[in-house]
Structures are given as structure tokens and as C-alpha cells.
Structure 1
Amino acid sequence: MESEILSDEELVMITGYQARAWQRRWLISHGWHYIESRGRRPLVGRQYARQQLGAPSAEPSPSAPAKQAWTPDFSKVS
């Protein structure tokens, strides 16, 4: 099972930087939200990263309503 937080390697892959200070600068300059650990490691949520990267979610969100197929309303047709 994957962690809800991106790993160090994933953060390096996304930002292109190994140093945490440069990772934080990249995240800020690209408008990404993150929090910092006590050791000043930028923590980025996996679901948030997927949204930012435009990748489809691995699992449907339980809070998101299910999309229903569009059907025409024939009640107004005489």
C-alpha cells in the first residue's frame, strides 16, 4: 500500500531537486501547497500531487457523487 505522502524519491522526480530548500522553492514557484515536517522536509499529499499533475485518481473519491449518464427530458415535448 502506498503512503498518502509522496516519498523523498517521488519529490525529487517531480521537482528535479535533491535539496529540500530547492524542492520548497520549486513547489512555491509552481503554486503547489505543502506542509513541512519538523525536519523541514516538504510534505506533499499523493492525491493532491495527482490532481496537480492531471493524473486520474487511482480510486474514486467516496465523497464525490457518482456521475450519472445524461438522459433527455421528454416531459416538455408534446
Structure 2
Amino acid sequence: METEILSDEELADITGYKARAWQRRWLDDRKWLYVESRGKRPLVGRMYARMKLGMITPTIIDPNPPPAVPAWTPDFSRVN
């Protein structure tokens, strides 16, 4: 089972570096977001990495969707 954080090997494959300082520099140069562990290891989320690599596209859900158009409305123009 995959974890939510990229492993050391996966991060080395993406950045091309095994040294954590060079990995952080690579991530900073490309404006990737990451969190550092207490051991200065860059922690990159798996879904974020997939999005940055173009494997998935983010979907934005509008919190205020437009009102639904009714299928039928009564015609009151002929009512007296």
C-alpha cells in the first residue's frame, strides 16, 4: 500500500538527487511545496507530486453553484 508521502527512493527518482539538501534545492527551484521533517527530509505529498508532474488535474468544486433551471414553469399569462 502506498503512503501519502513520497518515499526516499521516489523523491530521489523525481529530483535526481539522494542528498536531502539538493532535493530541497530542486524542489525550491521548481516552486514545489513541501514540509521538512525534524531530520530536514523534504516531505512531498503523493497527490501533489502527481498534480505537479501532470498525471492528474485538480478539480475545483464551486461552493455556490448556479440555481437549477426548472424543467417546467406554469404560464399565468392567460389567467384572469
Identity of aligned residues (%): 66
| Matches of 2:38 and 2:56, distance apart in 1 | 31
Following TM superposition, where does structure 1 have runs of at least 4 consecutive aligned residues deviating by more than 3 angstroms? none
Name 1:6's counterpart in structure 2.
6
Partner of 2:40: helix, strand, or coil?
Answer: coil
Name 2:37's counterpart in structure 1.
37
Letter in 2 for 1:14: I
Alpha-carbon deviation of 1:30? 0.5
Structure with the higher helix share, 1 or 2: 1
Letter in 2 for 1:32: W
- Work out which of the two has the higher radius of gyration on C-alpha atoms and give 1 or 2: 2
Q: RMSD value over aligned CA atoms?
A: 1.8
Name 1:47's counterpart in structure 2.
47
Structure 2 matches for 1:17-28, cutoff 5 A? 17-28=17-28
Letter in 2 for 1:44: V
Aligned in 2, Cα 1:3/1:28: closer, same or farther, shift over 3 Å?
same
TM-score (norm 1): 0.71
| Matches of 2:16 and 2:9, distance apart in 1 | 10
TM-score (norm 2): 0.70
| Matches of 1:16 and 1:53, distance apart in 2 | 14
Q: Extract unaligned runs of 5+ from structure 1.
A: 66-78
| Matches of 1:23 and 1:6, distance apart in 2 | 12
Over residues 54-75 of structure 1, what are the superposed CA-to-partner deviations in whole Å (9 max), with x where a residue is unaligned? 0037xxx8x958xxxxxxxxxx
